Amino acid sequence: MIGWIKAHRRSAIICGLTLLVPLLLYLNLVLSAWGMRTDYAAEIDRLAPRIARLEGVQQVEEELRESAGIVQQRMSRLVYPASAERASVAASMQTDVRQLMTDAGLNVSNSQVMPVREEERFDFIGVKLTVAGDMASLDRALAELADFSPLVIVEGLDIWPTRTRRGKDEPEVQEATISIRLLSLRSVI
């Protein structure tokens, strides 16, 4: 056999290369498979923390649902729902606040709905009122605003005294004119 290789050197090289090509293809296939395996192992290692977090969420899913329900209930007491139209919410808020101020003993001389400010998760709906009355009535109105539902926030309050004439025997009453800017939230989501 060695004699034949020496005699037919060119044919021996061609035969050797022909046998070497399948061996190289096999090695290439094995190395590619090994590379794919390491890539998949790295991907699994990268996904393992995410999977663990999801499994943790599944374990406390019922608690999360209960908490979400509680949050929705509390939020419904604090903000107007997303299903309500902006204009109707603003008009309703204006009417309710005017009635609240009147019931507290204040005279409402002006009220206007302010432009809606849009934020990420809420619309800020504002109402500006000008009212007049004594300080006790103002205290009652502010106390009732604190209990108002959905929540009404006093954004600004300007007070200036109202000049009134009184007789000698009349008790002194602190009368004031108040400009108050109120804000309420409407859920967007």
Judged against a pLDDT cut of 80, whether residue 95 lies above it is answered with yes
Judged against a pLDDT cut of 80, whether residue 138 lies above it is answered with yes
- pLDDT at residue number 64: 92
Computed on alpha carbons and rounded to an integer, the radius of gyration of the chain in Å comes to 40
Paired tokens of 64 = 């999360």
Write out pLDDT tens, residues 103-136: 999 999 999 999 999 988 899 999 999 999 999 9
- pLDDT at residue number 167: 65
Judged against a pLDDT cut of 80, whether residue 49 lies above it is answered with yes
The residue ranges of every structural domain in the chain are: 2-59, 83-187
Paired tokens of 130 = 């000008």
How crowded is residue 92: how many other Cβ atoms within 10 Å of its Cβ? Answer: 15
Angle 91-97-102 (CA atoms, 0-180°, nearest 5)?
125
Paired tokens of 94 = 């204006």
Closest by alpha carbon to 189, among 82, 116, 99? Answer: 82
Which CATH number is associated with domain 83-187?
3.30.70.60
Q: How high does pLDDT run on average in the chain?
A: 89
How crowded is residue 89: how many other Cβ atoms within 10 Å of its Cβ? Answer: 21
Closest by alpha carbon to 186, among 91, 79, 85? Answer: 79
Q: Which residue has the tokens 């022909």?
A: 18
Higher pLDDT, 96 or 73: 96
Judged against a pLDDT cut of 80, whether residue 170 lies above it is answered with no
